[in-house]
């Protein structure tokens, strides 16, 4: 273990040189925990189409969470607005519904905790 530390000392020192770096990967592990737990459950999906649908929904929810949105508000927003679009094949039009879009942020932002 000491040999390993000495060999890689310059890389370990980067954490001390740049305050933006974190000493552990706990945040990354927490972010994927739900997906990892779900993966075991998806092994028992009734069909590959069902498993794919769950994966899509989980991706939408996690992306919303990472962008500071209330997941319930965001899903409701999408289900309310998207059916009224003339076409879902226009990427430029769909960009307005991405979690970082200004209008989505305005309507779906998480409420601050009091």
- pLDDT at position 68 is 92
Query: Residue 75 region, left (φ>0) first, then alpha (ψ -120 to 50), else beta?
Result: alpha
- pLDDT at position 113 is 67
Work out the angle at residue 80's Cα, subtended by the Cα atoms of residues 77 and 85, and round it to the nearest 5 degrees.
110
Task: State the 10-residue block means of pLDDT for the chain, 114 residues long.
Answer: 90 84 79 72 74 83 91 95 87 91 93 67
- pLDDT at position 114 is 47
Is the Cβ–Cβ distance between 108 and 64 less than 8 Å? Answer: yes
pTM of the model: 0.61
CA atoms of 107 and 72, how far apart (whole Å): 11
């Amino acid at each position: 273990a000491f040999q390993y530390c000495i060999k890689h000392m310059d890389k370990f020192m980067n954490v001390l040189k740049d305050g933006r770096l974190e000493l552990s990967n706990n945040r990354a592990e927490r972010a994927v925990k739900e997906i990892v737990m779900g993966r075991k459950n998806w092994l028992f999906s009734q069909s590959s189409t069902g498993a794919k649908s769950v994966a899509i929904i989980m991706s939408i929810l996690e992306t919303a969470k990472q962008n500071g949105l209330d997941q319930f508000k965001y899903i409701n927003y999408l289900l309310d607005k998207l059916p009224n679009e003339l076409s879902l094949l226009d990427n430029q039009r769909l960009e307005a519904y991405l979690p970082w879009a200004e209008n989505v942020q305005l309507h779906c932002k998480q409420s601050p905790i009091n």
